[in-house]
Structure 1
């Protein structure tokens, strides 16, 4: 019974983190048809900016409560600045090119962002434990969990709800759905597709940075964390269906619970459990569980 509870809580917490870290990636692909490898760089920028900002703030002896506000602020700054620089400075000249070429371009951007983080913050690790420590622990069936884990779960639910509401209940969201459905028809109807690309890329970059910023209080922020997250985020969106927000939710839950089950039942399987699940899903649904329908060009 305790093992089942531990799997449920750990799986939900890991799934929430995975969703926050991958939803921006699937959003960008759904709208722009770009597999954005630079997403890992946005995650790393958010983590470094958050850890640095919290550390700088806490050095002055300020109350820890305001440190929670630093997390979304630093994520917004990192996501908007880096996202705008890449989309306006590079990607807008590449729209309409082959998808493989776009992958190579975003991979180059990822390598540049990795070096940018080292130039700004160096190669030392950053630790911003104060927000996680401030929320204490919560006992569930005698098992202690950090309160910060449940904060991440709440933020993931809030982001998922806001994305759904924005896409289905706002004029901009409905226009964006038209762009997703057919880019050429959208342009013929007078929709400024390039503007929507920019907005989408900034939102996706900010969500990636937010995933890193929220993770910073729970980990030691070191060089290379961006490469790790892009692999797991890619597994999530492939399982759920590339470009699908509901797919990102289901994919994150599947990966989260699979990893938690392997950790608690057979720890050596943790190394390959995510990829085993991905292979099993793709064997049955080659394009993922909720893959977007592709229109046939005549």
Structure 2
């Protein structure tokens, strides 16, 4: 019983931050039809920025509780600067061009951001230990879990609900859905399509940076962290279906369970478990679990 509980909690913790990152990836694809290869680099920017801002708050003698605010501000800062700059300054110039070209542009952007983070923060690892002890330990049955890990699950649920409600229960969300379905008709009705694209991309950047900022206390922030994140995020959106919020949630849970089972039961296949699950899904449902023929955010 303890093993089952451990696997379940580990799976949800891993799925929580992965869902936040993948939610941004699938949102950008759903609205802009761009498979953003640089998404993992934005995650890394969020992690590095959070480490820097938390360290700054610590030197000011502020309470460790403020480190949560510091991480949120770091993610918001990355989104406010990087989102409009990349979308308006670079990606907008390639709209209407071949989709493969856009993929290559985001890959080039990934390479530039990787080198940019090394220039700004160097190659030594950063550690953000202050927030990790804020919530103490939580006893579940005979087992003890870190409270911060469980709080991350709550954050993922909140992010998912806010994005879903924003798209499906607000006027702004209806406008975004209209642009997704028919940007030309939306433009003829007076919708500023370019603003919608910029706003959606910025929200996607914020979610990637938020995932990086709030996982920084759980990992060693160092060069190369973006590579593993973007690979696993792609696995999540492929399993769930590109452009689907529900699919991103289910895909993250499936990936989390596959990894947790492999770590605790079959450690030798841990590196391949996610890709085995992805391959199995693609065999029987190539478009993903929640994907219609035409990609769009649901």
TM-score by length of 1: 0.96
Q: Does 1:257 align with 2:257?
A: yes
Cα separation, 2, equivalents of 1:73 and 1:292: 36
Q: Does 1:45 align with 2:45?
A: yes
Residues 243, 292 of structure 1: 8 Å contact kept: no
Tell me how far 1:59 sits from its aligned partner.
2.7
> Which ranges in structure 2 are unaligned for 5 or more consecutive residues?
none
Which residue matches 1:64?
A: 64
Q: Which moved more, 1:57-66 or 1:196-205?
A: 57-66
Q: Does 1:201 align with 2:214?
A: no
Residues 7, 257 of structure 2: 8 Å contact kept: yes
Matches within 5 A, 1:118-157: 118-157=118-157
SS of residue in 2 equivalent to 1:294: coil
Q: Does 1:279 align with 2:279?
A: yes
Tell me how far 1:193 sits from its aligned partner.
1.5
Which residue matches 1:13?
A: 13
Superposed CA RMSD: 1.2
Q: Does 1:96 align with 2:63?
A: no
Tell me how far 1:194 sits from its aligned partner.
1.3
Please list every run of at least 4 consecutive aligned residues from structure 1 whose deviation after the TM superposition is greater than 3 angstroms: none
Q: Which moved more, 1:137-146 or 1:211-220?
A: 137-146
Residues 44, 225 of structure 2: 8 Å contact kept: yes
Tell me how far 1:139 sits from its aligned partner.
2.1
Q: Report how many residues are paired.
A: 295
Residues 15, 256 of structure 2: 8 Å contact kept: yes
Residues 247, 289 of structure 1: 8 Å contact kept: yes
Which residue matches 1:22?
A: 22
Residues 24, 208 of structure 2: 8 Å contact kept: yes
TM-score by length of 2: 0.96
Residues 258, 273 of structure 2: 8 Å contact kept: yes
